[in-house]
Structure 1
Amino acid sequence: MRHVATGDRNAYDRCIFHVLDHTGRALLIAGLGVYPNTGVIDAYATLRLGDRLHAVRASDALSDDRLALTVGPLSITVDRPLERLRLRCDADPADPGGLSCDLEWHAAFPAVWEPHHTQYRGGRLTLEGRRFVQAGTCTGTVRAAGEELAVTAGEWTGTRDRSWGVRPIPGEDGGRAAEEARPEGFHWIWCPVRFDDRFVMVIVQEDADGHRTLNEALLVRDGVPDVQLGWPYADITYRAGTRQPERAVLHLTDPARKPLELAAEILTSSPLAVGAGYPPADDWQHGTWRGRGWTDRRTYDLGDPAAHPLAAYGVTDHAARFTLEGRTGYGIFEHGSFGRHDPSGFTGYGDTAPARPDAPQPRPAAPQPREDRS
């Protein structure tokens, strides 16, 4: 689209890919976004390999050709819509051993609509987005630090998400709302999981009181109608002194009211505020104008969490192994919990899980639906 139906500077259209190996050795995250009312197109790729996060980011002026999904060394090619896509990150000629990839993504299940997502700051609508999500497999190669990883369908999983609408871009004066309407808390779970014969999608967003503003639990299989899996709630075991999960159980319910447990074991993690351009990153964020032909490559050390203090206030994507009724699957446990969250026992922005490893972890009670208070 050359023109969008709003003059809001925060209009966007963006996608994200997650490519993870089943041992937890590597997690590749890549995305591309266009921001028509600021005239920007940008993209990124990050690879978590051991304690190193390799990142490539690029930004440029948005052209009139909206089918040209290329920014600097990063590109996405749609070979068959919703079925087969190609993701590339070209190597730096000056550093051929740095991060690069050439991957083909294949859909394993149909795309699934996610709930209509809205969010307000004070009386203003600051986020309004439509999304779909899809799970599949990937094949190809990933290179970084002089090492080549062979990506195969049986040992790697690939998920992707596409969203569009209005979403905050840095650079706008927050005005009164930024000072007087700061949220007391935010709690988020976004969880696409691929099993051999099914795809499960779980989404939870709650405020400080535990009031739920976004909810989804869906089972997808080929050839049969999608099945809703009730009102999900989570038991999350956090690493002591943090809000970083080590494992979790998502409690679901089938249509016959049979309880189901989707258990997640974290394999490796990638904070989106480090390298990938998500808030509150302090070196680059999506949609910001960096001039024509901007490209940045760098490597972050994730071995020392204290080196990236802002990451604790951004969402982290965790590659995870999942189990459900004897089946094993793989996917992403995306989680962020900031500020007060009464169901988890967190009292404010400085609060974390108990410091003693043997101390009991906060156990969320099952929240109940309530009328929207906005």
Structure 2
Amino acid sequence: MTHENPLTSWDDYPVHQSANVIAHAATSDRNFYDRYYFLMHPSSDEMAAIFGLGQYPNLGVTDAFVAVRKGDGHHVVRASKPLVDRMDTSVGPIRVEIIEPLRRLRVVVEPTEHSVSMNVTWTASVPAIAEPNQFIRSKGKVVFDTQRLAQTGFWEGTITVNGETTSVTPDHWRGCRDRSWGVRPVGEPEPAGIRQGVPAMSGMWNYFPMQFSDHSIFFINNELADGARALEQAERVWPDGRIEQLGRVEWHHDMQKGTRLMTHSVLTFPDAPGGKIEVECTSLLPHFLAVGSGYGLDDDWRHGMYQGPDLVVHGRDYKVDEIAMRGQFAVVDHVARFEYDGNVGYGLYEQAFMGAFPRVGIAEARSMAE
């Protein structure tokens, strides 16, 4: 794609959704994005690797990252470049390869002078499901209008952190992934105008994709401080494609006092098919994803932020104790164990508290659980 010729390789495929070329999104909203997210873990507290790649057509940027929590270390490799062809799912040393759509993908982080490299292949354990559309309008402006697909699966390959290579085998390396697209805040901050002091989202965010031996459960709850729910989903998915609606969930979260971190939860599904089920959730390893990877805590690096006309690659290494305080004020992605009715599984235990949430002991926007 150039200023003179907007065509790219995608324009030779019958995938258009409007009269625009693929390089031009159907919406002119600057915040339009298209993104991959993956979590990889060994079903234990040893390690958690999270990686993502996003395209921001109306900002002209594509970027990617890998963030690994291992022991007391938080290791990030991130890259950004101008977006030219939307079929190019690589940014410097980081790339995503689609081997079989919705079934097998590969994530590669080529070796550099930085602390993380990997070559791993994902195989789905259940069919991908569509999550409910997330739509938030704030004082007339659409802030969120997004769609995601979600899936659990297994990993195979190798990952190297600080020179130590670990074999990744599908007998116990599991994870989840999502693909999301639409409109959400990205890039450099916009002038707030009438929305000054109004957060893009508020309340509690929970997202738990749980992978058991023969099925998965997907749970979402964006609950406001007054108890209203802006978004929720609870589905049990089987490898043959069956989807069971589990109904409205009732929840109880145990907090680590003096923090904003969840440590343990009980989810009750009174209307589940076959009778009530209770899922016990136990955090194994919190991962402060938002530090260094572009999720909003770093002024110099946010998803979609223009980093210049050439490829930029950074490495960042932190001690977890140094980032935990600020990291817990954004999304935190725990590896967790899930148990119910004799089933034991593992997966993502994602949490965020945006502002006060008195029900878990967070009395004010910047306070900790009491």
Q: Same fold (TM over 0.5)?
A: yes
CA distance in 2, matches of 1:182, 1:190: 19
The alignment status of 1:29 with 2:45, answered yes or no, reads: no
1:198 to 194, 215, 238: 215
CA distance in 2, matches of 1:322, 1:121: 36
Matching residue of 1:357: none
- The answer to whether the 8 Å contact 1:100/1:142 transfers is yes
For 1:49, the aligned partner's letter is K
- Note the C-alpha offset of 1:169: 1.6
CA distance in 2, matches of 1:198, 1:14: 25
Distance 1:328 1:34, change over 3 A: same
- Note the C-alpha offset of 1:177: 3.2
Question: Structure 2 matches for 1:317-332, cutoff 5 A?
Answer: 317-332=333-348
- The answer to whether the 8 Å contact 1:184/1:339 transfers is no
Matching residue of 2:91: 71
1:340 to 349, 356, 359: 356
- Note the C-alpha offset of 1:338: 2.6
Question: Structure 2 matches for 1:113-152, cutoff 5 A?
Answer: 113-152=130-169
Matching residue of 1:238: 255
Matching residue of 1:315: 331
- Note the C-alpha offset of 1:263: 1.2
1:276 to 283, 287, 293: 293
- The answer to whether the 8 Å contact 1:210/1:342 transfers is no
Question: Any stretches of 5+ residues in structure 1 without a counterpart?
Answer: 355-374
- The answer to whether the 8 Å contact 1:209/1:342 transfers is no
The two structures have a TM-score, normalised by structure 2, of 0.90
1:3 to 4, 13, 24: 24
State the identity %: 34
CA distance in 2, matches of 1:224, 1:147: 39
CA distance in 1, matches of 2:272, 2:162: 49
Distance 1:21 1:256, change over 3 A: closer
For 1:260, the aligned partner's letter is I
Name the SS for the 2:265 alignment partner.
strand
- Note the C-alpha offset of 1:257: 7.2
For 2:266, the aligned partner's letter is V
CA distance in 2, matches of 1:80, 1:126: 33
- Note the C-alpha offset of 1:343: 3.5
- The answer to whether the 8 Å contact 2:75/2:317 transfers is yes
CA deviations 1:222-255 (Å, max 9, x no partner) are 2363111111132111111011011111222344
CA distance in 1, matches of 2:238, 2:72: 36
CA deviations 1:142-173 (Å, max 9, x no partner) are 00112111111111102100000011124243
Matching residue of 2:5: none
CA distance in 1, matches of 2:259, 2:324: 13
- Note the C-alpha offset of 1:110: 0.1
Question: Structure 2 matches for 1:56-135, cutoff 5 A?
Answer: 56-64=77-85, 66-92=86-112, 94=113, 98-135=115-152
CA distance in 1, matches of 2:238, 2:104: 19
Question: Any stretches of 5+ residues in structure 2 without a counterpart?
Answer: 1-21
CA distance in 1, matches of 2:324, 2:242: 44
The two structures have a TM-score, normalised by structure 1, of 0.89
- The answer to whether the 8 Å contact 1:122/1:181 transfers is no
